[in-house]
Amino acid sequence: MKNFNNDDKENELIHALKKITDQMKQDPRFGEGRDTFTSVAQARRRASALGCEGTHTVRGPDRNFYMPCSSHAIYLRVTGKEKQNELDELEFKQLSAKIKETLRNKMKEHNEKHGDKTGKRVNMRMLEAVFRRGVGAYRTNPESVRRNVMGPDQWAIARVNAFLYAVRTGRYRSGRFDRDLLPNGHPLKSSKDKKDLVY
C-alpha cells in the first residue's frame, strides 16, 4: 500500500484540475475557455469588453460557470464564432454511419411494436431531423444541457428517445417539441413550423 505525502496529494489535485480544464476546452458549451468564469462579475466585465450585455450560465462537470452575453447565441455572434458554427453545422448534417445505424435500429424496434397503429409509424427522415435539432440545441442552448451529458450525440439521442415516447404514448414527459415532425394522424401533430420548435 502506497503512502501519500503532501507533494503526491498536490500533484494529484493539479492533475485532476488540468483534466477538468482540458475537458472544458474540448466541450463546445464552454467557448474557448477564456470566456468561462467562476463569477458573474467577471463574466459581466467580459461582456462589457465584447460589447454585449448580461451573462448566461453553463453547467460544468462539478459546478456552474458564467459566460458573457445574455445567451450563448449572442455570444457566438459577438465573438464571430457563428461562422465556425455554420461549418460545424455542415459537418454534422452528414450523420455518421454509427448514428444512422442507431437511429435505424430505434425506428425498426419502434415500428415493429407500434407501427401498425394510426399516427405511430416513424421513418428515418423524422428521427434524423429530431437528432439534428438535438445537436443544435446542445450547441446553441448550453444552459439547458444537464451536467451528466458528455456530448451533443448523447443529448440528441435522448431527444430522439423522448420523441419516440411521445409518438408511442401521445404525451411528452416534459415540454412539447418537434411536433411538426410527428407522424400524420398523430393527435399531437402540429402544422405550425417555427412556434413549436424548441432548441
Q: How many CB atoms lie within 10 A of CB 128?
A: 19
Q: pLDDT by residue for the chain (199 residues), tens digit each?
A: 455 566 676 777 666 666 665 655 555 445 445 688 888 999 999 898 888 999 988 776 667 788 889 888 788 778 776 545 554 554 455 677 888 899 999 999 999 999 888 889 999 989 998 998 888 888 777 777 777 777 888 888 999 999 999 999 988 888 888 888 889 888 888 765 444 444 4
- Calpha distance 107→121 (Å, rounded): 9
Position 158, amino acid? A
pTM over 0.85: no
Between CA 123 and CA 111 the distance in angstroms is: 9
Kindly state the cell numbers that stand for 162: 423522448
